[in-house]
Structure 1
């Protein structure tokens, strides 16, 4: 009787854990395909585009919207490597295996604002 109860309990535990991980991965995929509002600093230099936020760094997928954003950002740049504050909507995905770049990628879907960068203080190191 005890063996049957333990066996039944183990099967129940195994089945319940299995369904939780499946629903968690499905919700993660659903989140990846919805546009999110992101605010950060953008730079496009030497065929690489990067968006740096307070918490993460994203490789920006190069497409027509990225080039449109770069055109708007160039108005505020003094040097090619200057980062400009932007607010965009984009779809965040995980970088495919075998590709170079940051672990997270963002595909820009909408450009909200492009702002003038803050003045750099004299302690900023320029390369």
Structure 2
């Protein structure tokens, strides 16, 4: 009788992790914590940019280069602005001291959450700026 083929083991066989909620207790790479944490989950790549606190310019998410896939979301040491794989799609996090501005090139297939609270982005026009802070919408 033929033996069954060996199954994959290790990290490659593990399902992608659930996205971390995000909030003041999230520890970023280097041990940083921020009072305001933005999480964007998307079903496919999206143009997403943020401007943190009083920063002079927007900066985009860091997507994998052509031919590469996004790395799995790590349990610790999340790099702000880096796109990761999760069980719910692609996910990216940023942290700020007080507030941030968000720009998206589309709103379909996205979930935007600030400190774990999902925000309504249905009325945000592509390219429009949305100011987010922990004090309200």
Instruction: Please indicate the TM-score interval, normalised by the length of the shorter structure.
Output: under 0.3
| TM score, norm. by length of structure 2 | 0.26
Task: Flag the structure with higher helix content.
Answer: 1
